[in-house]
Structure 1
Amino acid sequence: MNIRRSAALVGATVVIGAVCAPAAVADSASPSPKVVVPSGLYGTSDPTYDGVWRQSLSLLAQDTVGVKPAAKAVDWLTGQQCANGGFAAFRVDPGKACDAKTPLDSNSTAAAVQALAALGGHDAEVGKAVTWLKSVQVKGGGWGYTPGGAADANSTSVVIGALAAAGEKVTSAQDALVKLSIPCGEDGGGAFAYQPDKKGKLAANADATAAGVLGGLGKGLAADGAKQAGKPVCKGSGTPGAAQAAQNGAAYLTQALAKDHHLMSAMPGAKAQPDFGNTADAVTALAASGHPDQAAPALSWLEKNSSKWAEQSGPAAYAQLILAAHAAGADPRDFGGTDLVKSLNATGPAPATTQAGKKDEKKKDGGGISVWYVVAVAAVAGIGIGFLFSGRKKQQL
């Protein structure tokens, strides 16, 4: 799941007076004068649209490499939860009770569940969040970004990961997810669509496919890798079972990465360019589905090319790369010459302990969204809520 996916677009709709979801803000930009970045939060960019998401990914990534985060970082996340169990992207005043206008969303809530479940000791918070997630499940078994919204592959997948982390059954949710997979033999066969279009047609989307592979496997954002299971092949017709849908998605991702070893993306009016976040998610998906050999070229590309992107984009980007390295069996402390763990730790409060038992650096600038994406969102702000709310539907090349 790309950091832009859950931390990017709906906030733009907030800006233009619509619904809520995370919107893009420049990574190196100072926070809004109206928003003071809490000391327990990772990154220094405005957290209005991605605070809970980037915090959750950061905590998850640290947990996978044996880093115990600072108590204040965990307390910040738990303090964002509403009494009904849900999370919004960011609440400026967590001491103020949530109400009907608080913009809760499935992605922030599901990411927080995965982080808190991994850290342990937060059964009450996890239980309340799971109850809220179940309460907003749409007819048919999936989830949309906001309560009442149409189900999409990305939201459904991140919730599946949350339910699995909490020890809940995910079969019905997976059944809903695979309805968004494209049958083999059709255009984009094996891929997942973000959502059906107005005519019910499914269009392949690499970001949704990476998410769908994990969801089909019943795995979360910090998925472990699996032993090589041969080259993935798209099999079957119609609606496959969840496990086969995941393998079909892996076959699609393998083909999508074959030429350049990375994915491309573009917003209307913007030039297509390498998508580091989606590529990292694809590596995680392939490794988790038993295809580390197929993930290896893309992993190598990330090792050679992602350092500047991560430095500009901040904690969520470092976390995505750590999670990809974790799944693929690479060393996140020497990732193309970059110590991703050290870099992530430096964006937030000093961890209680690291694997080496040492304190880490002071906070650096950084948030969760790339600068080019900010420009793209601003350019299309006038298109309206339907497009902005579905950032994952952007063209995948």
Structure 2
Amino acid sequence: MRWARIMGRGLLVGALVMAGYAGAGAGADAAPPGAAGGRGPLTLVTGRDLTGYLQPVLDGWNRTHPDEPVKLVELPEAADEVHAQMADSLRSGSSRFDVLNIDVAWTSEFAGNHWIAPVDGRGLPLDRLLPSVADTATFRGRLYAMPYVTNAGLLYYRKDILDREGLRPPRTWAELEKEASSLAAKYRIGGYAGQFLPYEGLTVNVAEAVQSAGGSILGGDGRQTTVNSPAALEGLRFLTRGVTDGWIPREALTFKEEESRQAFQDGKLLFLRNWPYVYNLASARDSAVAGKFGVVPLPGPDGPGSGVLGGSNLAVNAHSRHQRSAADLMAYLSSEGVQRQVLTDGGLPPVWASLYSDPALIRRYPYLPVLEESVRTARPRPKSARYEQVSLVVAAVTYDALALRQTPEQALARLQRELQDVVRGG
């Protein structure tokens, strides 16, 4: 997903894609495992910081740690390029980068490949985090990262239209279908859209539908495929029914984050599933829906659904020579003061629970309570050392169902087979 581009445009990125760099290889800058653990200068690698908030944060560290200064390396915006460069660098055994700001979905992959070091959580404020967020940093029961930024999908709705009709925002799929079907036709706009192009965004949308219905894609250890279930079928049917019945417009099958955001912002959609960054952009002076929309948690079959956690985690390169300094930097970046800056200066959702009930922050960001509720009920994406392949398969197969080339039953049976091939031995 185009997280880095989104980050520079508004408040709160969905699942921020942070990355690495194809280092010079396992030559002069490589260190053997076990040789790390000392103190010294650090390099923090991240995706492009288009808001410019991170360097001032690191300047604060550098003023108090003159013997352990941090150099910031920013990488490209495109997620696929970013992931490829990071994987190449880590795979080579390079120690060029010490601390890595990685997408939460990559934590399991990097841990499973032994590219990042296990984390001693005793010096980290894990007890101050939103409970669901901490799980994104673990793999097979062990802590491998520190949550830094979080995110969860929200349902945006046209408040002016629902108010005019005397309706409340939907809490269930049935309510959403009914309102999207009847009001979309009446007002000549699209009913509902998410991110339905076959890429990571579709994997997220499908995972949300499946888990909201009580299902899962993979088992907890990432080695078992669990997607061919009645609950998963209910979730996929919800999405395909929208296309068949027309309350999900066919155009939505071409949407990523920005295309769907623009359609809602232009007044062409009644409901939109997207990340919190949309709020500020849709509230801008040039937005057709400024002052006319609201936001609520995603609906599910019988009540509020379950979103997918986005955001980024901080991890330490397993080949870093300065892992003690890296651990201290992680503690600094996850402190309350920096977490407040993450929101106020970076426009990103913090991981500290107390910030979501801060009256001053709520006045500035009125949707924080809704975001907190959504984050608390959200779940990580399927955990697998082969997550990239898992996501590609989920998106490709379920897109065929949304495009009505396969029935949901056929798609899930195929998905079960193909995912088994991917996770075998992972």
Same fold (TM over 0.5): no
Asked which structure has the greater CA Rg, the reply is: 2
Length-normalised TM-score, structure 1: 0.28
Determine which structure has the larger strand proportion and give its number: 2
Length-normalised TM-score, structure 2: 0.27
Greater relative contact order (CA < 8 Å, ≥ 6 in sequence) = 2
